[in-house]
Amino acid sequence: MYVFISDFDGTITEDDFFTLISARYFTDEMLAPWREYLSGRQTHFNALNEMFKQIHIPEAELKTFIRQIHFDKAFFKVCTLCNRKNIPIYICSAGCDYYIEELIGRELKEYGITLITNRSEYNPKQGLRMHKPRLGSLYYSETTGISKKAIVEHLHEKGYKVIFAGDGPPDFEPAQIADVVFARKLLLEKCRQAGLKTQPFGSFKNVYDYIKSNC
């Protein structure tokens, strides 16, 4: 009995939302929160939140920007296959629901995808503001808001084997305990350094081929 979990930013999409939005709208000074995170002086959640709160553009412009983000269309081919094989699908993100819902909200419903991420809202005066789950909730993480490791552990407890796809530092903890790992970018480097076995992952076609042959 399998379940498929994917990260969103840089895994389904070509690049992280914060990387794309900052390249378009941020000055170097506005990137200070992220440098604090990279140096270990700030948590991932707080750094992202401070970055996102600096977005002050009309909401229509922000939504247009989000809809232009490129993503791997093969992901939905994987979803079709999972639906056919009765494999539950999760997107688990340390980002937030605002831009995920705006980009693929219709597909989340169409394919029955469970989205687990930080809640958020936007207005041009206050920026994009994220909110962690309540302290003590099943997937709470102080550092990332959403604990992907806790999600994998919970699904293991329910008897599932977990196929996990990711690309960044928040994906390393869940990758260490997932049953099958598709990794690229920084996650692939960390998995190799730790001696963790990973599957090749150029696009979601690799995930599709694996699930088709092995699940």
CATH number of 2-16+68-214: 3.40.50.1000
Please give the pLDDT value at position 13. 97
Alpha-carbon span 100 to 97, nearest angstrom: 5
Q: What is the 3-state secondary structure (H, E, C) of 112-139?
A: CCEEEEEEEEEECCCEEEEECCCCCCCC
pLDDT tens digits for range 113-142: 999 999 999 999 999 999 999 988 999 999
Who contacts 32 (Cβ-Cβ below 8 Å, separation ≥6)?
A: none
pLDDT tens digits for range 73-105: 999 999 999 999 999 999 999 999 999 999 999
* Helix and strand counts by DSSP (H, E) for the chain: 10, 8
Determine how β-strand 161-166 pairs with β-strand 140-141. unpaired
Instruction: Let me know: does 176 contact 148? Beta carbons within 8 Å.
Output: no
- Average pLDDT, rounded, for the chain: 97
Instruction: List C-alpha distances in Å: 140 to 6, 8, 98, 150, 194.
Output: 18, 18, 19, 8, 25
pLDDT tens digits for range 31-69: 999 999 999 999 999 999 999 999 999 999 999 999 999
For the chain, which residues make up each domain, given as ranges?
2-16+68-214
Please give the pLDDT value at position 105. 98
DSSP of 79-125, one letter per residue? HHHHHHTT--EEEEEEEEHHHHHHHHHHHHHHTTPEEEEEEEEEETT
pLDDT tens digits for range 178-206: 999 999 999 999 999 999 999 889 999 99
